[in-house]
Structure 1
Amino acid sequence: MSEQPPLVLVVEDEPDLADLYAAWLGDEYRVRTAYGGQEALDELDEADDEVDAILLDRRMPGLSGDEVLAAVRERGIDCRVAMVTAVKPDFDILKMGFDDYLVKPVTSDTLRETVEGLLRRGEYDTEMQELFSLTSKKAMLETEKSATELADNEEYQRLTDRIEELRSEADQSLEAVTEDDDDFEKLFQEFDTDADVDTDE
């Protein structure tokens, strides 16, 4: 018997939008929907199978997406999380434990690519997952903030220092891997794509 497809939990308080996301992903993945924060946590508690990825709205009545994300991490639930939200990223994202961040509206292709990326990252070790998450945050902030704002923010400076530390460790790991390791090559192609945005220009 073949393995079941990965399980994706869509958390969105607009039912029509949640159902649309589920329809976009349904051909490739098993998808469950939750139309609110508390319902999402109930789904995670009741899930017979481990949830592999969560698409999580930030602004929801009752339990917000930020609170759901905090609860997921506090409970030690091992899954990748992408925020899919109309809220533009600000410096507050530096303290949040998500893996990727999409600003609505999103296309079906973007959503599918995001889930694919989340699942691929789930196969990497903790340090590499952290590298991708931090690089994603850095790219988003560099899109939204001026060079002066970034330079004046101490948390952003700590973020860049941590990325450099993780990149150095990753470079050392790369040297120890054979050149024909396709999975590892894909990992670094994805990382280089995330890291293209730079404020030094």
Structure 2
Amino acid sequence: MSEQSPLVLVVEDEPDLADLYAAWLGDEYRVRTAYGGQKALEELDEVDNEVDAILLDRRMPGLSGDEVLAAVRERGIDCRVAMVTAVEPDFDILKMGFDDYLVKPVTSDTLRETVEGLLRRGEYDTEMQELFALTSKKAMLEAEKSATELDGNDEYRRLTDRIAELRSKADESLEAMTEGDDFEKLFQEFDTDE
């Protein structure tokens, strides 16, 4: 029997939209839907840490997406989260524990690419996951804010400093890997046809 496909939880208070996202993703992934924040927490209890990625609306009645995200992180659920929302990003996103941020409306291709990227990020170590998440936040802010607004924000400066630090560490790790024969030996096994 083959390994199960990744599980994606779609959290959206508009059932038609949640069902549309599920239809777009259903060919490649196992998908569960939750029509609101409280339902999302119930689904998470039910799947018992099996969820690989969450697509999370930010503004929902009752329990908001921000509150669901905080609960996911507090519970230690090891999954990637993308906010899929009509809420334009602001500097408050710098303190939020998501991995990607999409502003509605989104296309099926964008949604699929986002889930694919989230799942790929889940394979990286913690620092690389942080680098991807911070880079996504930086890109969203740069698309929405003026250079003056960005330059005047201390949190944004700390964000860019942290990204630079993580990139430097990643470059050092890559350099260390490529310096020795181990890197060459790693790929020699794939070159057996000659």
- Flag whether TM exceeds 0.5 (same fold): yes
Counterpart contact for 1:147–1:199, Cα < 8 Å: no
**Rounded Cα–Cα distance in structure 2 between residues aligned with 1:123 and 1:50:** 15
Counterpart contact for 1:79–1:122, Cα < 8 Å: yes
Deviation, 1:186, is 20
- Superposed CA deviations along residues 153-191 of structure 1, whole A, max 9, x for unmatched, are 000000000000000000011113359xx9999999999
TM-score (normalizing by structure 2): 0.91
- Superposed CA deviations along residues 94-148 of structure 1, whole A, max 9, x for unmatched, are 0000000000000000000000000000000000000000000001100100111
Counterpart contact for 1:37–1:65, Cα < 8 Å: yes
- Superposed CA deviations along residues 26-53 of structure 1, whole A, max 9, x for unmatched, are 0000000000001000100111561000
Percent identity reads 92
Counterpart contact for 1:127–1:166, Cα < 8 Å: yes
My pick for the range that moved more, 6-15 or 41-50, is 41-50
**Rounded Cα–Cα distance in structure 2 between residues aligned with 1:184 and 1:137:** 32
Counterpart contact for 1:19–1:33, Cα < 8 Å: yes
Counterpart contact for 2:9–2:34, Cα < 8 Å: yes
Counterpart contact for 1:41–1:68, Cα < 8 Å: yes
Does the C-alpha gap of structure 1 residues 49 and 76 become closer, same or farther in structure 2, counting only changes over 3 Å?
A: closer
Does the C-alpha gap of structure 1 residues 26 and 12 become closer, same or farther in structure 2, counting only changes over 3 Å?
A: same
Does the C-alpha gap of structure 1 residues 72 and 122 become closer, same or farther in structure 2, counting only changes over 3 Å?
A: same
- Which structure 2 residue ranges, 5 or more long, are not aligned? none
Counterpart contact for 1:10–1:18, Cα < 8 Å: yes
Partner of 2:94: helix, strand, or coil? Answer: helix
2:16: which partner in 1?
Answer: 16
Deviation, 1:200, is 47
**Rounded Cα–Cα distance in structure 1 between residues aligned with 2:189 and 2:33:** 28
> What number of residue pairs does the alignment pair up?
193
TM alignment of 1:160-175, pairs within 5 A? 160-175=160-175
Does the C-alpha gap of structure 1 residues 168 and 71 become closer, same or farther in structure 2, counting only changes over 3 Å?
A: same
Counterpart contact for 1:142–1:199, Cα < 8 Å: no
1:103: which partner in 2?
Answer: 103
2:192: which partner in 1?
Answer: 199
- Which structure 1 residue ranges, 5 or more long, are not aligned? 192-197
Partner of 2:189: helix, strand, or coil? Answer: helix
Residue 13 of structure 2 is aligned to residue 4 of structure 1: no
Root-mean-square deviation (CA, aligned residues, Å) is 7.5
TM-score (normalizing by structure 1): 0.88
Counterpart contact for 2:34–2:43, Cα < 8 Å: yes
- Superposed CA deviations along residues 59-117 of structure 1, whole A, max 9, x for unmatched, are 00000000000010011100000000000100000000000000000000000000000
